[in-house]
Amino acid sequence: MKLLLIGDVVGNPGRRMLARELPRLRTELGLGAVVVNAENATAGAGLNAAHAKEIFAAGADAITLGDHTWNQKEFVGQIDALDRLVRPANFAPGCPGKGWRLITLPTFRFALVNLLGRVFMQPADCPFRTADAVLREIPKDVPVFVDFHAEATSEKATLAHYLDGRVTAVVGTHTHVQTSDARLLPGGTAFITDLGMTGPYLSSIGRNLVPVTKKFLTGVPARFDVAEGPCVLEGAVVDFDPATKQARAIEPVRVREAQ
């Protein structure tokens, strides 16, 4: 069985790229399921219900989020109606939405967990202890995929080794830069530090270069709008055995539009 996990979708350009390429990828790669990180899908920061439905219509089976989960204010009242979507499980108790879900498809089912890093990030509960608690709730007979939305590569790698042998895959998101370290860990868990980004690549991680450059030069705050232009779709395919729940391979995916 193969499952594709796609890196952060950025704004309208990223949603357009996803809608155009995902149906083809599902067929060509023989995918059993697709998980999309969509925490930047609405105007580059957060998500709303309309765009979540658009991403599902493009072919996603489930959606993960991250530190921008609540940037679109209306989403607080929308998230509970989206039953194939997870937000970070280590948000404070009482937040709407779910930190993990069991995704049931015609051919198999899997558990999807979302966690938020704490290094160089906004306050959150411990992702390591939260992962332990979540795994006690998940049925033992299903593969488990973890989207760890974090800044520090060290934190991502350490959590992956901490969960090695207990989950099928740990994939990092958030930096919008695909890393070259996709590999199988000794216990059979697939890992990549960051899936990358689905959005405009002539940019600063998806944002218009002009205001970002000005901010670096002057330190004056500016509005960082989503860039325009050619896009890239990035992620990774995990080949796994649903019976053993162990990964057999992980391969990065990159589709780039011409300039």
Q: Which sequence positions are flagged as catalytic?
A: 68
DSSP string, 126-146: -HHHHHHHHHHHS-TTS-EEE
Are the C-beta atoms of residues 90 and 115 closer than 8 Å to each other? yes
Angle (CA) 230 233 234, round 5°: 135
Angle (CA) 222 52 50, round 5°: 85
Q: Which residues neighbour 207 within 8 Å (Cβ) at sequence distance 6 or greater?
A: 44, 224, 225, 226, 227
Which of 2, 57, 17 has the alpha carbon at shortest distance from 196? Answer: 17
